[in-house]
Structure 1
Amino acid sequence: MGVSETPDVVLDGQYKKLYEEYGAFTVDNYDKENSGTRRKAGVKKWLGWCQNEDINPFEVTESEIHQYIRSVNNLADTSVSSLFSSVSMFYLWIIPEDYPIEENPTSDIDLKDHYNLKPQTAEYVKVLRREGRENVKALPKDRITKIFDHMGNPPIRNSLLARLAWQTALRTDEISRIKIDNIDFGKREIRIRSSKLNPEDHPDLYIRRVYYNSNLDELMKDWINKRRAALSPHASDSPYLFLTHQSKQMRPSHISRLIKDAAHDAGIQEPICTDGNGNTRWLVTGHRIRHSRISYLANETPMTLPAIRKMAGHAKISTTQDYITTDWEQVRKDYLRSTS
């Protein structure tokens, strides 16, 4: 069954409004009528899923994008990739508009890597290029850590957030879902549900453990015991470590914005590319911190690749191996240091 042949979906409220506005956009921006029709059908299916799951499309997380992909994964590879491409292009359209969303929730998802799909359509490749995935790079520790003192207010919460992002290599979506009850303060261990992996396929990694260092003990204690309740009226009935004055849980987009702004203030931010709508993609992001931490652990510490893979939540060890440096001078120094 093709994407455009799926049963009709009846949209209401904001879902209907978004679909109609996107439909008007496709009329003006697609040269071929069938391309616009296919994109509209894909977006309608996505918004229909959001409506049925009671998900706000402006607050959707990467984890929920994965849920959606799994819900259509019984279709042919080309159909799944077309639906995914439609969702990604929908957010490329919506972000520059006057809507409360700043991050494309599809930008860090690779269908080939996560679902073993081979979507070789020109449209899919175009979306990946727009997202700047070809420019993904790790940054050195001394550059990343410069943002710690520029995280803005409230300083205790935001400093803890940035330092945990670096030490744990968690995704912003996962940071937003840290629950206080899932922190073992004695072991300095945090249990977190993966935003990417399927529990049936990866039962050992779906709930994984990440760790932080003793230098966060006082900051963690200060935030949880004093500042958290003073900041938010929701503190007593929110299970989440990070919350705001207005909400029981910080949104991933809020975390991403804090990190980007801190990088600007620290003087280390720079543009790396623009997407298809001319929007700037920035070098220092929450996901860049994750990449940088994994690279640091793989290349500058004695931590083994299997251990890094488990902490990073990679489905395959080959993903972790991609972080190993090809700097032969570093290889030579490591060899001389480890042998006599």
Structure 2
Amino acid sequence: MTTPSRIPPALPVAGGGLTDFTEGWLANRRLSAHTRAAYRRDVQQWLGWCAGRGLEPLRASFLHVNAYARELEATVDARSGRPLAPASVARKLSALSSWYAFLLRLEAVTANPVGGADRPRVARDVSATVGLSAAEVDAMLAAADRLDGPTAARDRVVLALLADLGLRVGEVVALDLDDLGAERGHRTVRFTGKGGKPRRRALTPAVLRHLEGYLEVRGDAPGPLFATATGGRVDRHAVFRLVRRLARDAGVPAWERLSPHSLRHAFATAARDEGVPLEDVQDAMGHADPRTTRRYDRDRHNLDRDPSYTLAAARSRRTKP
């Protein structure tokens, strides 16, 4: 195996020269555009950290990664004003681990330095996303119905897709007009899910009602389904602002801390509360692991849903004279 002192000359060594290599790594991963952009930022942040310390990234050890991780944990998130969540730090290190694993396969490094690093512990059963009750989601949808102005029709569809289908914000903003379709009597939307997986979902009557009104305004020109006044694609930041504005208008107490992902959590919780089987919610949300779906079900510890009640009721029906 090649040692760090004998790195193949075709591979760039300087931190700034690894950009092309990083793009090659990303191209070899099945990732959504949003995840690819996030991973790119994560690697660039690491390379910047290394450059600031005169450290060659291909010769970094787990001690350097540990120092980097501790600095990340002390970093204050500009949006929340709080230190980065352990899950955010863990995600950044996970991206670096994948990057180094790719380097290892190319024999550009002798070991993955992230593998021996001290990563933050993240509880798989807990999510830090601020949740919403079903009543709060209803109030936000009602606030969207009261919108007026040139973007009102568009914004109503965006919120309905987040609330009724539980889509990720990246999936919503990446939609094009030709992603809309029909299948076996259902109106559908096709999109690329996490991991680059092609997916499709059925549209609810409420989404369809708002969508038809929006398409009358938008027209049938090909391109982004949700466009700005200048024709560009609506971005994630605009959807963040929309969600918080509607939550504020709806009187949601935690509106300043909400995100589009809060509606995705609410979708899972409401579906499970209405008796939708876990595996159906898992499929709808595109989760490979059911434990991920359970994290989104914030009401899963509600004693009203204790299965002992269901079993007791069934026994009572069987033994009733």
- Residue in structure 2 matched with residue 188 of structure 1 by the alignment: 187
- Residue in structure 2 matched with residue 253 of structure 1 by the alignment: 237
Summarize the alignment of residues 225-244 of structure 1 with structure 2, pairs less than 5 Å apart. 226-229=216-219, 236-238=221-223, 240-244=224-228
- Residue in structure 1 matched with residue 300 of structure 2 by the alignment: 325
User: Of the candidates 37, 41, 60, which is equivalent to residue 64 of structure 1?
Assistant: 37
Conserved 8 A contact 2:181-2:187: yes
User: Of the candidates 141, 149, 154, which is equivalent to residue 148 of structure 1?
Assistant: 141
Write the deviation string for residues 201-231 of structure 1: whole angstroms up to 9, x where unpaired: xxxxx1122232123323211211x1114xx
- Residue in structure 1 matched with residue 51 of structure 2 by the alignment: none
Residue type matched to 1:228 in 2? R
> How far, CA to CA, are the matches of 1:87 and 1:257 in structure 2?
29
> How far, CA to CA, are the matches of 1:84 and 1:191 in structure 2?
39
User: Of the candidates 150, 161, 174, which is equivalent to residue 171 of structure 2?
Assistant: 174
Closer/same/farther in 2, CA of residues 180 and 81 from structure 1, 3 Å limit: farther
* Secondary structure in structure 2 of the residue aligned to 1:189: strand
**Alpha-carbon distance, 1:329 to partner:** 2.4
> How far, CA to CA, are the matches of 1:169 and 1:207 in structure 2?
16
Closer/same/farther in 2, CA of residues 119 and 211 from structure 1, 3 Å limit: farther
Aligned residues with identical type, % of pairs: 14
Write the deviation string for residues 12-60 of structure 1: whole angstroms up to 9, x where unpaired: xxxxxxxxxxxxxxxxxxxxxxxxxxxxxxxxx789958x99xxxxxx8
> How far, CA to CA, are the matches of 2:22 and 2:269 in structure 1?
36
Write the deviation string for residues 145-193 of structure 1: whole angstroms up to 9, x where unpaired: 2112334442211111111111111111111012222222441322211
Closer/same/farther in 2, CA of residues 227 and 79 from structure 1, 3 Å limit: farther
Closer/same/farther in 2, CA of residues 328 and 46 from structure 1, 3 Å limit: farther
- Residue in structure 2 matched with residue 312 of structure 1 by the alignment: 285
Conserved 8 A contact 1:63-1:173: no
- Residue in structure 2 matched with residue 294 of structure 1 by the alignment: 268
Residue type matched to 1:7 in 2? V
**Alpha-carbon distance, 1:64 to partner:** 2.2
**Alpha-carbon distance, 1:84 to partner:** 9.4
**Alpha-carbon distance, 1:81 to partner:** 7.1
Conserved 8 A contact 1:176-1:252: yes
**Alpha-carbon distance, 1:119 to partner:** 8.3
**Alpha-carbon distance, 1:85 to partner:** 5.7
- Residue in structure 1 matched with residue 250 of structure 2 by the alignment: 266
Residue type matched to 1:146 in 2? A
> How far, CA to CA, are the matches of 2:156 and 2:281 in structure 1?
24
Q: Give me the TM-score of the superposition, normalised by structure 1.
A: 0.58
Number of residue pairs matched by the alignment: 257
* Secondary structure in structure 2 of the residue aligned to 1:243: coil
**Alpha-carbon distance, 1:335 to partner:** 4.8
> How far, CA to CA, are the matches of 1:338 and 1:189 in structure 2?
38
* Secondary structure in structure 1 of the residue aligned to 2:221: helix
**Alpha-carbon distance, 1:78 to partner:** 5.5
Summarize the alignment of residues 40-59 of structure 1 with structure 2, pairs less than 5 Å apart. none
C-alpha RMSD of matched pairs (Å): 4.8
Conserved 8 A contact 1:256-1:286: yes
User: Of the candidates 162, 167, 173, which is equivalent to residue 165 of structure 1?
Assistant: 162
Residue type matched to 1:189 in 2? T
Conserved 8 A contact 1:112-1:119: no
Structure 2 gap segments, 5+ residues each? 27-32, 47-57, 99-113
Closer/same/farther in 2, CA of residues 77 and 311 from structure 1, 3 Å limit: farther
Conserved 8 A contact 2:22-2:40: no
> How far, CA to CA, are the matches of 1:337 and 1:80 in structure 2?
59
Write the deviation string for residues 247-281 of structure 1: whole angstroms up to 9, x where unpaired: 3311011111100111112110427xxxxxxxxxx
Closer/same/farther in 2, CA of residues 211 and 47 from structure 1, 3 Å limit: same
Q: Give me the TM-score of the superposition, normalised by structure 2.
A: 0.61
Closer/same/farther in 2, CA of residues 7 and 161 from structure 1, 3 Å limit: same
> How far, CA to CA, are the matches of 2:73 and 2:21 in structure 1?
17
Summarize the alignment of residues 98-137 of structure 1 with structure 2, pairs less than 5 Å apart. 107=88, 110=91, 121=118, 135-137=128-130
* Secondary structure in structure 1 of the residue aligned to 2:186: coil
Whichever of the two has the greater Rg, that structure is 2
Write the deviation string for residues 71-120 of structure 1: whole angstroms up to 9, x where unpaired: 99xx9995997799699789956669xxxxxxx9x959847999999887
- Residue in structure 1 matched with residue 213 of structure 2 by the alignment: 222
> How far, CA to CA, are the matches of 2:61 and 2:265 in structure 1?
28
Conserved 8 A contact 1:69-1:84: no
* Secondary structure in structure 2 of the residue aligned to 1:209: strand
